[in-house]
Amino acid sequence: MSIASKILRPSVLPGFGPALGYTVFYLSIIVLLPLSAMFAKAAGLGWSSFWETISSPRVVAAYQLTFGASAIAASLNVTFGFVVAWTLVRYSFPGKKLVDAAIDLPFALPTAVSGIALTAVYSRNGWVGQFLEPAGFHVAYAPPGIVLALTFIGLPFVVRTLQPALQDLDFEVEEAAASLGATRLQTLLRVIMPALLPALLTGFALSFARAIGEYGSVVFISGNIPMKTEIVPLLIVTKLENYDYAGATALGASALMISFAILFLINVTQWVTARRHRRT
C-alpha cells in the first residue's frame, strides 16, 4: 500500500491536514516555544560567558553526578524492573493486584514526600541507615542516596513499558527453544532478550530522562553539598533564586542538548534493534 493511499484512507478523525496542523500547533505551544525562549535567553550571554557558565568546576561536578547517577538508576531499573514485570505477567499469586498498583505509587506520590521518606529511612538515625552507617556505608547525604531516589521515581517507566511486550511474547516460543535443547539461560539470552530489547531500551530512555530532571526527591536526600552531592536542577534553582536568569537558562540549555544527544542515540539503537528483530 502506498503512502498516499494510507493518508487518504477513511478515518474517524478529520483529514490528515487538520490533524497534522493541530499536532504542529499543540507541540509548538507546549514544547517548541518554551524551549526556543530558553535558548534565546541563554544566547544573550554570548559564547564566552555561556561557556564559562557551563564549564565551571562546580557545574561540571553537578553534570557528572546527575548524568552518572541517572544512568546507574536507569540501569538498575532495567535489571530489576524486568524481574518485576516478568513476575507480574507470568505468575499469579495472592496480592498481585496490590503489587501491580504499588508500581504506580511514584507517579502519584509528590516527589518531595518521597525524598523526605527516603531520607528518614536511610539517614543516620533512620530505620535502615542506623545499621548501614556504622558499617561505613552512607546512603543519605551521599551519591548512593541520589541513585536510590532516582531509581524509586524511574521504576514505573520500565515496568509499564515491559509488561505489554511480555504479554505479546508467546510462551510457545520458549517451549520450542526448550524442545530444541536450549537451556534456560540460552532461552533467556537468545530468544527472550532479543524480543524484549526494544522495550528495554525504551524503558531505559524514559527512566533516564525522568531522572535527569528530577529535583524534589533528590534535594532532600542528597544534602546539596557543593562539588559532591549537587545536581544540575538544584544549580538551576539556585541561579533563579539569585535572579541569574541567563545563567539558569544556560545550564538548562546545555543539559537539554546533552540529554537530547543521549536519547537520540538510544532511539537510533532501538530502531536498529527493532528492525533487525523484524527481519529475523
Tell me the domain boundaries of the chain. 61-279
Amino acid 78: pLDDT: 94
C-alpha distance from residue 277 to each of 156, 190, 198, 272 (Å): 25, 12, 9, 9
Amino acid 213: pLDDT: 86
Amino acid 11: pLDDT: 65
Rounded to whole angstroms, the Cα distance separating 55 from 63 reads: 10
Amino acid 162: pLDDT: 92
Q: CATH fold of 61-279, please? A: MetI-like fold (1.10.3720)
* Pairs from 257-264 (Cβ < 8 Å, separation ≥ 24): 258/63, 258/67, 259/209, 259/212, 262/67, 262/208, 263/205, 263/208, 263/209
Contacts of 105 (CB under 8 A, 6+ apart): none
Q: Say if CB 53 and CB 130 are below 8 A apart.
A: no
> What three-state secondary structure class fits 170?
coil
Residues in the chain where the model's pLDDT stays below 70: 1-14, 277-280
Q: What is the largest CA-CA distance in the chain?
A: 69
- The model's pTM: 0.84
Q: Looking at residue 232, what DSSP letter applies?
A: H
Q: Say if CB 81 and CB 151 are below 8 A apart.
A: no
User: pLDDT digits over 210-219, tens only?
Assistant: 999 888 889 8
Amino acid 1: pLDDT: 46
Which burial class, exposed, middle or buried, applies to 75 when counting CB atoms under 10 A from its CB (0-12, 13-18, 19+)?
middle
Amino acid 80: pLDDT: 93
